[in-house]
A and B are shown apart, each in its own frame.
Chain A
Amino acid sequence: MKEPRCETIDSLRFRITKRFGAKTVLRDFALEVRGKQFITFLGPSGCGKSTALNIIAGLIPATEGEVWIDGKRIDHLPPEKREFGMVFQNYALFPHMTVFANIAFGLQLQRRPAAEIAERVQQILDLVQLLGYEGRYPGQLSGGQQQRIAIARALVLCPRLMLLDEPLSNLDAKLRIEMRAEIKRLHTNLGLTSIYVTHDQVEALSLSDWVVVMREGLLIQAGTPQEIHDQPVNIFVADFMGFRNFFPTQVVVVGPDRDVEAAGNGMKIRGKTRHTFAPGASVVAAIRPNDVVVGGDAAGPNAFRAKVDIVEYLGREDEVIVTLETGGRLWVQTAVRLAPGENVTVVLPPDRVIFLPPEEYGGTE
C-alpha cells in the first residue's frame, strides 16, 4: 500500500524555563532546529527532558519562555489545537476502546466521514503491521503491540510534529531494537519531524539527526550523533557516551590541529581536544575502554606498562581492569585473552584520547 506523507513543520524554536515551586526543572532551555529531522533529548532521569517535551506538547505550561513553529508562537495554544502526535512510555491507550476505536478517536473528533476513517485506520494498521487486530482491546495485546497501536493512533492524524516520550523503555531488549528500527522507518517514510526523549545513548545515536544532551534542566551539548559521540564537550557527556577512563593531567604543549600533550601522575599522554587550553591548564584525558589497544609498540606514544587485575568474559571480547605502572586504573575492552596477574603493554592511541575541562560542567555550549 502507498504510504501517505505528512505535512510537517519547517522549523521549531523554543526557549523555556520551568519551575515547580522552588525547584527549577528547566533553565532557559533553548533550541532552534529545522523540520524533517529526528531530534533526541538525551539525559539521565530528572534532567527535565520529559518536562520539555510536555511543554512543547502543551500539556504543561512553561513558567517562562516561548515556543515557535514556522514563525508562529504556539505556547498559548491548548494541546488539542497544536496538531502534534504524542507517544507515551506506558502506551496510554484507551482501555475501554478497541484498537479500531483508539485509532479512529482523533479522526472522529475531526468529523471525518466513516468511510474515510475506516480506510485510514486500515492503512495505518497495515503500516504498523497489525492488520486484523481492529476488534481487540488494549488489554489483549502485548506491550510491543500496544506501543505500535499508540504510534499508529498518533500517526493516523499526520501530526505536524511527532513527540515520543521514552516509548521503548517498557519493552524488552530484543523488541526494543526492532521497534527502534520501526520508528526510524516510519519517521523517514512519512517525512515527519520527531522529537524523541530517552536516557539510552544507543537509541539516541542510532535514531537521531540531532542529539540534545541535557542535565539538571540545562542544555549541555547539542550536535549530530557523530559529534556527540566523538567530541563530547565535558566529562558528563563523555561519561554518558561511554568514556570510562579519566586521568587528571596538566597541559604541557598545545600543538597545531588541536593536538595536546599533557602530563600528570607520572604519565605523559597525547591526544586531541575541541577546547582551547593554555599550557599548564588542568585538563582530563579520557578514552573509551574499547579504544585501548593491548600489546602494541611499547616504545611508541601513550604506551604504558600494566598488570591485569580482573577479567570479565563478555563473549566476543573481555572486559578487563588493569592497574597501570604509574598507579592509575584502566578499563579495557579487548579481544586479546588475558589472565589476572599478567603483565601487559597498553596503548592509548593519541587520536582516540580527548582532553576535557576538569570540572563536570565545563565547556557548556
Chain B
Amino acid sequence: MRRSQTGEPSELDLLAIACLLPSLLYILVMFVYPFLYGIYLSVHPLKMDGFSLANYIAFFTDEYQYKTVGITFRLAVPNTIVVVAISLLFAYNMRRGIWLERTVTTILVLPISLGVILLSQGILGFYGGKGWLNQLILGLGLLEEPLVLTHNFTGVMLSLFMQQFPFCFLMLLGYISGIDPSIENSARTLGANPWTVFRRIMLPLIAPGLAIAFALVFVMSFATFPSAIMLGQPSGSTRTIAIAAYAQAFEMFDMSYASAIAVIMGLFQLAGLLLILLLRKRMVTAATMGVGKR
C-alpha cells in the first residue's frame, strides 16, 4: 500500500477504508450483532436476573433435549458420507466429459432449483404410503405391505440427499476437472493402473476439495429443519436440534433457551468442521509420506 512520506495515511488508504465501510456495516448489522446478541440472550435466562448458565445446564440434563444432538448426528454423519461418496463417484467418472454431458448434469442438478418444500412434496408423492412407488410395488405384487419410506428417518435422509447431492456433485466436478489431465496420464505411463492412479495420485489431489465438500454438507445436514419436519417425525425419531430450538422459540416463547440451543448447535457444527479439517491434514500427509514406505 502506498504511504505518504510523513507516515500519514495517504488519500488512497482513506479511499480504501471508505469503500470497505458499507460491507463492514452490513456484516456488523446482519451477522456480528445478531450473533453476539444471541450469545448474550442465551446466558440471561427468561426467569432470572443477570448472567446464568441455567439454559445450558437445562439442555444437557433434560433427556428429551440432549438426545436431539444424537439424533442430529445420526442423520448428518451418514448423510454427509453418502452424499460426498456418491458425488465423488459421479464427479470422478465425469471428469473428462461424458456422452450427453450437459443433459446428464442438468438432470443431476435440477433438484437444487426446486427448493426444499417442492422437493419434499415430490418425495411424499412418490415415496409416500400411497405414492407411485408403493402403488407400483403393490400392483406388481412384489410386496404385501407398502414400504414405509416417509415420515421416518429414511424420509429425511432421502430429502437431504436430494437437496445436497447436486450441490456437492457440482463442487467436486469443478474441483476434479480442474486437475491437469496430464498428471494422471503420466502416472499411467509410469505403470499405474486406474485404481492406483485414483488412490495414489488423484485422491490426495482431490482431498482439499473433498474436505470442503464434507464440511459444507455436514453443516447443512446438521442444521436440517424443513426436511425433518415434512418427511420425518418432528416430535419423535427425527427431532433434530434445530427443531428443539424452534420449539423453544416459537412454541414455548423462551428466546433465551432457544438461543442457548442454537449456540450449542453452532458449537457442534464447529467441532465437526475442525475434525474434518484435521482429518484432511492427516490424509494429505499420509499420502505424501506413504510413498517413501512400502
A: residues with CB less than 8 A from B are: 54, 57-59, 78-80, 82-86, 88-90, 92-98, 100-101, 104-106, 108-110, 150, 153-154, 157, 163
Question: What residue in chain A is nearest B193 (Cβ atoms)?
Answer: A80
Q: How far is the CB of B293 from chain A (nearest CB, A)?
A: 9
Q: Please determine whether A108 and B189 come into contact, CB atoms closer than 8 angstroms.
A: no
> Pick the contact of A80 from B192, B287, B291 — CB < 8 Å?
B192
**Count of chain B residues with a beta carbon within 8 Å of a chain A beta carbon:** 23
> Pick the contact of B190 from A54, A90, A98, A157 — CB < 8 Å?
A157
Question: What residue in chain A is nearest B207 (Cβ atoms)?
Answer: A96
Alpha-carbon gap, A301 to B294, bound state (A): 75
B: residues with CB less than 8 A from A are: 180, 182-183, 185-193, 196, 200-201, 204-205, 284, 287-288, 291-292, 294
Q: Please determine whether B185 and A79 come into contact, CB atoms closer than 8 angstroms.
A: yes
On chain A, the residues within 8 Å of B187 by CB distance are 94, 105
Q: Please determine whether A109 and B192 come into contact, CB atoms closer than 8 angstroms.
A: yes
Q: How far is the CB of B253 from chain A (nearest CB, A)?
A: 54
Q: Please determine whether B191 and A110 come into contact, CB atoms closer than 8 angstroms.
A: yes
On chain B, the residues within 8 Å of A92 by CB distance are 180, 182-183, 185-186
Q: How far is the CB of B197 from chain A (nearest CB, A)?
A: 9
Q: Please determine whether A85 and B188 come into contact, CB atoms closer than 8 angstroms.
A: no
> Pick the contact of B288 from A80, A101, A108 — CB < 8 Å?
A101
Q: Please determine whether A90 and B191 come into contact, CB atoms closer than 8 angstroms.
A: no
> Pick the contact of B189 from A93, A95, A154 — CB < 8 Å?
A154
Q: Please determine whether B284 and A109 come into contact, CB atoms closer than 8 angstroms.
A: no
Alpha-carbon gap, A78 to B204, bound state (A): 23
Q: Please determine whether B188 and A78 come into contact, CB atoms closer than 8 angstroms.
A: yes
Q: Please determine whether B185 and A106 come into contact, CB atoms closer than 8 angstroms.
A: no
Residue picked from B183, B201, B287, most chain A C-beta under 10 Å? B183
> Pick the contact of A90 from B180, B196, B200 — CB < 8 Å?
B180
> Pick the contact of B205 from A96, A108, A163 — CB < 8 Å?
A96
Residue picked from B204, B287, B292, most chain A C-beta under 10 Å? B292
Given contacts A79-B185, A88-B186, A101-B292, whether A96 and B192 have CB atoms under 8 Å apart is no
Q: Please determine whether A80 and B205 come into contact, CB atoms closer than 8 angstroms.
A: no
What are 13 inter-chain pairs, A to B, with CB distance below 8 A? Answer: A57-B185, A59-B185, A59-B188, A79-B188, A83-B191, A84-B189, A89-B182, A92-B185, A95-B183, A96-B288, A105-B192, A106-B190, A154-B190
Q: Which 9 A-B pairs have the closest CB atoms?
A: A101-B291, A106-B190, A92-B182, A79-B188, A92-B186, A86-B189, A88-B182, A109-B191, A96-B204
